[in-house]
Amino acid sequence: MPRYAAPADLAAYTGIDAPAAGAEFDRQQAQLDRAADLIARVTRTARMPIDSVGVPTVALARTAVTRATCAQVTYWGESLDETGAGALYDSVKMAGVELTRARTSSGSRHPAGSRLAPASLDILTAAGLFGTAVYH
């Protein structure tokens, strides 16, 4: 698993101080690592040189995946939906159990990429790391 960003990178991206070493630092690094996994998946068809652990060796690509990873964590914090499950349903009722699937503008049943932050997509697209390839 590539490690694209550290808490200091997230602090630089958001302007909010990074936590000191400890439980909060470890929690934030774990979240950054989960975001890096997602960014690695959506860029797996990108043509860019990488090192032995999967981190881009070209500065433009390295900066883009770091910023996209930080944007992803920020998005999860704002949406309170790290899994993307919130995008799957328009409405949910409990007692009578009624679920209504969300639809994208194209009418598909599962919003492809619902987990990827719009800012992450913009960053990766601008760097040429995300195009028309389909990802899972």
Q: What is the pLDDT of residues 40-89, one digit of tens each?
A: 999 988 888 889 988 999 999 999 999 999 999 999 998 866 666 565 55
CA distances from 14 to 17, 67, 73, 94, 123 (A): 8, 10, 10, 37, 15
Phi/psi-derived region of residue 15, left when phi > 0, alpha when psi is between -120 and 50, beta in every other case: left
Task: Among 54-58, 75-79, 110-114, 115-119, name the one with the lowest average pLDDT.
Answer: 110-114
Q: How much is the pTM?
A: 0.76
User: Of the candidates 35, 119, 126, which has an alpha carbon nearest to the alpha carbon of residue 84?
Assistant: 35
Six-digit token string for 68: 């996209």
How many Å apart are CA 118 and CA 49, to the nearest integer?
25
